[in-house]
């Protein structure tokens, strides 16, 4: 009865996980961030028509694909639905941890990535959800020089600055990447923290194992020690004797090993003659011949 209840509980848990997994992987517009802005484009990123205009980079911070179709971009805080991103086009689907560029050139006839406003007289940009009321992200940017962009220091991060190098469709951080191992070494130069963490993990694992084995009887109704009270050897049940010495146990183990592998002292009365192949005949060999030596 208990095993049936355990099996039912595991089945219910597996079904719940299968139902929850698709929802956990569902896309959310809240994962999109305005990542970088360039206002005056003199010798920078070129659109599909060979034109250089202001551009806006969106970044998908999620680890699943997100479609921004139906959302709104605006440079006017009083008009949140200024430009609706068209739906149904695969180009608006941003892969996981990836980017999408919009051109603020006020030329919507050039495609859905071209907005109906520019950034020449603006210092504000916002992204709204499909309902046109829920603000997803906004930023106020300073007056920028030619070919200078304003973006997040790290993709999707909270800190903004005028970037030293424009990075359309690529990582905003252009410095030398830091190894996590080196950062931890700077934090813990003598390894004391690492030793404490390792010891804590080991002791917690031992405590967990102790609790698991201790509560085995209450969970399954038996003890692991009960499994070793009787052992079957060649179909005969032998009760373990806890008072036997090590020599006796070794002798029993050796006897069982010899018995199982058919090793014994009485050899079989079988004569085996092996043929030896030689390149010459031993009967005519001079090594075995007799000679008379006369003096």
Under 8 Å between Cβ of 38 and 75: no
Average pLDDT, the chain: 80
pLDDT the model gives residue 37: 97
pLDDT the model gives residue 22: 44
Percent of the chain with pLDDT over 70: 68
Global pTM reads: 0.57
* Helix H or strand E encompassing 35: strand 32-38
Under 8 Å between Cβ of 121 and 135: no
Taking only the tens place, the pLDDT of each residue in 60-98 is 999 999 999 999 999 999 999 999 999 999 999 999 999
pLDDT the model gives residue 23: 41
Q: For residue 153, give the nearest of 174, 170, 133, 132 by alpha carbon.
A: 174
Under 8 Å between Cβ of 100 and 39: no
Residues of the chain with pLDDT under 70: 1-27, 178-179, 216-243, 262-295
Q: Which residues of 48-62 are buried (b: 16+ CB within 10 A; e: fewer)?
A: eeeebbbbbbbbbbb
Q: Where are the domains of the chain?
A: 29-162, 178-228, 231-260
Residue partners of 51: CB distance under 8 A and separation at least 6: 105
Which CATH number is 29-162 given?
Answer: 2.60.40
pLDDT the model gives residue 223: 52
pLDDT the model gives residue 287: 58
């Amino acid at each position: 009865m208990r095993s049936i209840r355990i099996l039912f509980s595991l089945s219910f848990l597996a079904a719940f996980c299968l139902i929850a997994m698709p929802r956990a992987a569902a896309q959310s517009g809240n994962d999109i961030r305005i990542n970088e802005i360039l206002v005056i484009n003199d010798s920078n990123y070129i659109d599909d028509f060979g034109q250089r205009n202001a551009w806006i980079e969106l970044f998908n911070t999620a680890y699943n694909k997100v479609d921004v179709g139906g959302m709104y971009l605006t440079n006017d805080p009083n008009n949140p639905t200024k430009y609706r991103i068209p739906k149904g086009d695969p180009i608006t689907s941003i892969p996981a941890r990836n980017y999408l560029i919009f051109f603020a050139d006020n030329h919507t006839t050039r495609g859905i990535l071209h907005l109906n406003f520019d950034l020449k007289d603006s210092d504000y940009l916002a992204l709204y959800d499909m309902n046109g009321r829920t603000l997803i992200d906004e930023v106020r940017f300073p007056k920028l020089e030619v070919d200078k962009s304003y973006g997040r220091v790290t993709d999707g991060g909270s800190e903004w600055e005028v970037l030293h190098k424009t990075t359309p469709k690529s990582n905003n951080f252009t410095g030398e990447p830091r190894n996590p191992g080196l950062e931890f070494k700077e934090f813990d130069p003598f390894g004391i923290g690492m030793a404490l963490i390792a010891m804590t993990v080991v002791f917690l694992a031992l405590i967990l194992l102790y609790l698991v084995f201790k509560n085995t009887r209450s969970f399954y109704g038996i003890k692991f020690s009960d499994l070793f009270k009787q052992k079957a050897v060649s179909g005969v049940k032998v009760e373990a004797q806890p008072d036997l010495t090590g020599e006796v146990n070794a002798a029993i183990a050796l006897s069982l090993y010899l018995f199982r592998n058919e090793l014994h002292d009485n050899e079989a009365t079988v004569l085996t003659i092996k043929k030896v192949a030689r390149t010459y005949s031993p009967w005519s060999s001079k090594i075995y011949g007799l000679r008379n030596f006369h003096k």
